[in-house]
């Protein structure tokens, strides 16, 4: 929790350095988004999902600072925020077993997506080859993964759809699940 307090202090310094300069308004807006993410973590509890939210907001702030050519005082505050976010990331990272399970599911989903795509390009009148990794098999992998991610604070609507209705799995929903897991795991 001390990192969150330190981040609030760094944001206070950053806002003071911004003053009321209208040229730096995008930085102020990005700083407000980061402040909201930090506030949510303080009020609702710190977990891996909240750290992701903080990191995402910080990256937006850094992009705004880079675009605006901000003064050095702002860069010092950004460095403090980056250090505290790195500490939070280490303390609240998703376990290796969850990452491996997510990557395994993604691998199987991608194999099914490739097979679905290839099935579109077959000689007319020929029988389609069976698709690998039936939806029920994928659901069996998704159930414990969904629980673990929910326990870390993540909302996973695409993965939840696979769990609730595996037969609705289609090419676009496969890509949605893969992208959702990439966003959670950091690419």
- 112, 132 contact by CB (below 8 A): yes
Instruction: Assign residue 123 a region (left: φ > 0; alpha: ψ between -120 and 50; beta: otherwise).
Output: beta
Burial state string for 88-98 with b = 16 or more CB within 10 A and e = fewer than 16 = beeebebeeeb
113 lies in the same domain as 176: yes
| Residue 99 pLDDT | 97
User: Is residue 1 pLDDT above 90, yes or no?
Assistant: no
For 114-171, how does the pLDDT look when each residue is reduced to its tens digit (9 = 90+)?
999 998 888 888 888 899 999 999 999 999 999 999 999 999 999 999 999 999 999 9
Structural domain including 134 reads 96-185
Separation between Cα atoms, residue 27 and residue 90, nearest integer Å: 26
Domain boundary, last residue among 58, 91, 124:
91
For 70-92, how does the pLDDT look when each residue is reduced to its tens digit (9 = 90+)?
778 899 999 999 999 999 999 99
9 lies in the same domain as 78: yes
103 lies in the same domain as 158: yes
78 lies in the same domain as 106: no
| Residue 92 pLDDT | 95
Domain boundary, last residue among 91, 124, 159:
91
Separation between Cα atoms, residue 110 and residue 160, nearest integer Å: 18
63 lies in the same domain as 139: no
87 lies in the same domain as 103: no
User: Is residue 187 pLDDT above 80, yes or no?
Assistant: no
15 lies in the same domain as 67: yes
| Residue 186 pLDDT | 86
Interval 63-71 mean pLDDT? 87
| Residue 70 pLDDT | 77
Residue 31 makes CB contacts below 8 A (sequence gap 6+) with: 11, 14, 15, 18, 61
112 lies in the same domain as 46: no
115 lies in the same domain as 179: yes
Domain boundary, last residue among 66, 91, 116:
91
Domains of the chain: total: 2
Predicted model pTM? 0.85
Q: Where are the alpha helices (DSSP H) in the chain?
A: 2-18, 25-44, 48-68, 72-91, 96-119, 135-151, 157-164, 171-185
For 107-124, how does the pLDDT look when each residue is reduced to its tens digit (9 = 90+)?
999 999 999 999 888 888
């Amino acid at each position: 929790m001390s990192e969150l307090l330190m981040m609030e202090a760094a944001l206070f310094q950053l806002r003071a350095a911004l003053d009321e300069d209208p040229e730096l308004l995008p930085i102020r807006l990005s700083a407000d988004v980061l402040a909201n993410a930090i506030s949510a973590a303080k009020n609702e509890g710190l977990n891996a999902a909240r750290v992701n939210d903080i990191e995402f907001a910080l990256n937006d702030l850094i992009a705004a600072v880079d675009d605006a050519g901000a003064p050095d005082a702002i860069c010092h505050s950004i460095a403090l925020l980056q250090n505290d976010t790195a500490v939070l990331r280490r303390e609240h990272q998703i376990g290796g077993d969850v990452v491996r399970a997510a990557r395994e599911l993604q691998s199987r989903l991608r194999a099914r997506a490739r097979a679905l795509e290839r099935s579109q390009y077959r000689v007319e009148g020929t029988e389609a080859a069976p698709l690998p990794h039936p939806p029920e098999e994928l659901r069996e992998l998704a159930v414990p993964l969904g629980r673990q991610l929910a326990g870390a604070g993540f909302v996973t609507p695409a993965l939840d759809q696979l769990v609730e209705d595996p037969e609705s799995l289609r090419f676009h929903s496969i890509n949605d699940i893969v992208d959702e897991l990439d966003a959670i795991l950091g690419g």
